[in-house]
Chains A and B, each alone.
Chain A
Amino acid sequence: DTGVSQDPRHKITKRGQNVTFRCDPISEHNRLYWYRQTLGQGPEFLTYFQNEAQLEKSRLLSDRFSAERPKGSFSTLEIQRTEQGDSAMYLCASSLGTGARNTIYFGEGSWLTVV
């Protein structure tokens, strides 16, 4: 079991550039989540997928953010026209089945620094 994998682990980009993060969930996990965590704060929900369908999005997910999960496997989170306020760690998580009784497994996160 390889766990949830995220790539890249660190990204430094200039303001205005686009960045894309990739998440590979645990094999056969049908739920995939994206969270954002800034320094000194707990993770904040961004969005989640049930297989390939994006079922819920937070208001934090502005128009510059887009997430996809083609074929219900890996997922990508793209941020267009990055701003300094986007600097954060982007966490991916996955779970098998629905409901809070199923354990959610987190990846190590992708750190974004916008300069």
Chain B
Amino acid sequence: AQTVTQSQPEMSVQEAETVTLSCTYDTSESDYYLFWYKQPPSRQMILVIRQEAYKQQNATENRFSVNFQKAAKSFSLKISDSQLGDAAMYFCAYSLRTGNQFYFGTGTSLTVIP
């Protein structure tokens, strides 16, 4: 069974600083994708970044980057130059290549301190 674990229920960061959110997952599959989604309060969940398991290079999207450690089944998100708008719940998610269903972690609530 696929499981996704986020061990940090809450995190905080000073504006303009860098923060790293942790995620581990468990799977016996080899062909899968990993994602970080952002869910602002009372707003829809949006995709932050996506990583294909077969790609060794870590994905980056502007201020967002991941550290993908396939052997350790670890997938952390680094947010650089944090902004007030980054405050949200962040979910780590896993899916097989088919994308038929996603498995989400329990989320990390990120607070950005001005």
Contact = CB atoms under 8 A, between A and B. Distances in A.
B98 A100 contact: yes
Given A40-B106, A42-B107, A101 B33 contact: yes
Contact of A56 (B91, B97, B100): B100
Contacts of A48: 100-101
B104 interface: yes
Interface string B74-101: 0000000000000000010101111111
Contact of B104 (A43, A100, A102, A107): A43
Contacts of A105: 44, 46
Contacts of A55: 100
Contacts of A44: 104
Contact of A100 (B44, B46, B99): B99
Residue among A43, A55, A109 with max Cβ neighbours from chain B (10 Å): A43
Contact of A45 (B32, B44, B98, B101): B101
A106 B100 contact: no
Interface size class of A (residues with CB under 8 A): 20 to 34
B42 to A, nearest CB: 7
A42 B91 contact: yes
Contacts of B96: 100
A101 B106 contact: no
Interface string A50-61: 000001101000
B45 interface: yes
Nearest to A50: B100
A104 B100 contact: no
A41 interface: yes
B104 A101 contact: no
Contacts of B43: 108
Interface of A: 3-4, 31, 33, 35, 40-45, 48, 55-56, 58, 91, 95, 98-109
3 closest cross-chain pairs (CB), A and B: A42-B104, A100-B99, A100-B33
Given A44-B104, A100-B32, 12 more contacts: A4-B44, A41-B106, A41-B107, A43-B102, A45-B101, A45-B103, A48-B100, A98-B98, A100-B97, A101-B52, A103-B47, A107-B44
